[in-house]
Amino acid sequence: MSIELPPSAAPRSTYPQDVLPERVRHRLHELAAGERPLAAYLYDGDIAAARARELREALPAWAAVYYAVKANSFPGVIEALAPHVDGFEVASLSELALATTAKPVPSGTVAPVVAAGPAKSVPVLTGLVAAGAEAINAESPLELHRISRIAQERGTTARVALRVNPARIPVTGSLHMGGEPSAFGIPENAVAEAVRTAQQLPGIDLIGFHIHAASNNLDAGTHADYVRWCVEWSVATAAEHGVDLRHIDVGGGIGVNFEGEKPFDVARFGELVAAVPVPDGVKVALEPGRFLVADCGWYAAEITDVKHSYGQSFAALRGGINHFQLPTSWDIVHNVAVLPVDTWPEDLPRPAAENTRVTFVGELCTPEDTLLRDVRVDRVRAGDLAVFPYAGSYGWEFAMHSFLGHPVADRVML
């Protein structure tokens, strides 16, 4: 059977140690001194907060930033972000509980929460209505009926935006363009009927539209053009169908740069977006997730063994895709730093690999448990730490925690 492994990292070398802030190295050495082999995520809430402030301050007053909790749901990270974002984007009851705890509001008032998901269950919809969510992004006619029924049963109305799968977005760049068959959203050719349905249902207050068609876009100009298009489309569609437009959700999609890539220019994006004509009384919501938290986290795992097989070298971790699945699932090269640990039992041999290419693998009984292939290493020894920077998003949340039943990775705030 052929197994698709992550792409080769050759001819790259591992990151130097100093890519890890001194405070991170110090804390990891403290954690590694424990009795158990280290496998943990380390988070710096100040980094996440600074990134959120940077984006929020660059945007005009009509824009709002809602952190997508799915990117990193650790309570410490949520708490660090809460003062610097306008609200949260959630997709489950557990995420809703995190959001409403981080930004509580008096009963009966609108909660700063927007909600998405292609198959929201009745319990999830009930929780969102009960919480007074600012916007429930409805993805189908049946969902509209369910929301209305739940709201009526509770003697209220629910604020709803229609999630739209547009036929085409006339913007070039790193965008997913819409117009393709998808479980997400309502096809553009069915929007008119969905609007009529929403307007006729007594439990629904139709406030606008949600369009999420951007993905990992590093170009500020292209992303500003995308926001402009979403606003223009929403304004025109609302006018055509008699919608009292108050809310336009443009989703996330701001990219995260890795080696050799130019970072997203937040200041330039803010300047360009400020020129978008937005009608009075309309809020434009952005839902960044990965962009806010990718660089606030590190995944670290003890190297339990170094092996040599038919001319290749392998560093085996106390962890793997049961902790950090993203590189394998997204088919990306996610580089690593080797942090030396000098303590080692005197009565054991200490295998090593020096000045050679090494593949970093996990502890699971499958060759798919490969995090990084063919990266050049100056030296790696059993007992050292493999540390993956930029692991603050889609790390712990995205992993295969139960496979083989090994302990899950710890999560620690710096």
The DSSP code sequence of 366-392 is STT-EEEEEEEEEEEETT-EEEESS-S
Crossing angle between the packed helical segments 220-241 and 266-273, to the nearest 10 degrees: 30
Query: What DSSP element (H or E) covers 122?
Result: helix 122-131
Would you say how long the chain is, in residues? 414
User: Of residues 18, 365, 402, 405, which has the active-site annotation?
Assistant: 365
Q: Where are the beta strands (DSSP E) in 87-212?
A: 87-90, 111-115, 133-138, 158-165, 186-187, 204-210
Compute CA distances 247 → 96, 214, 237, 329, whole Å.
20, 18, 13, 34
Q: What are phi and psi of 351, to 5 degrees?
A: -65, 150
User: Going by C-beta distance under 8 Å and a sequence separation of 6 or more, which residues neighbour residue 352?
Assistant: 306, 379, 380, 381, 382
Q: Is 168 exposed, middle or buried (0-12, 13-18, 19+ CB in 10 A)?
A: exposed
Q: What are phi and psi of 41, to 5 degrees?
A: -100, 135
296 annotated active-site: no
The Cα angle at residue 124 between residues 118 and 129, in degrees rounded to 5: 110
Segments in 305-385 forming alpha helices (H): 326-330
CA distance 183 to 117: 10
Residues pairing with 299 in the sheet: 41, 388
Crossing angle between the packed helical segments 191-200 and 220-241, to the nearest 10 degrees: 60
User: What is the number of other CB atoms lying within 10 angstroms of the CB of residue 359?
Assistant: 21
Q: Spell out a b/e string for 272-295, using b for 16 or more CB atoms within 10 Å of the CB, else e.
A: bbeebebeeebbbbbbbbbbbbbb
Nearest of 44, 54, 37 to residue 20 by alpha carbon: 44
CA distance 111 to 101: 11
Question: What amino acid positions are annotated as catalytic residues?
Answer: 365
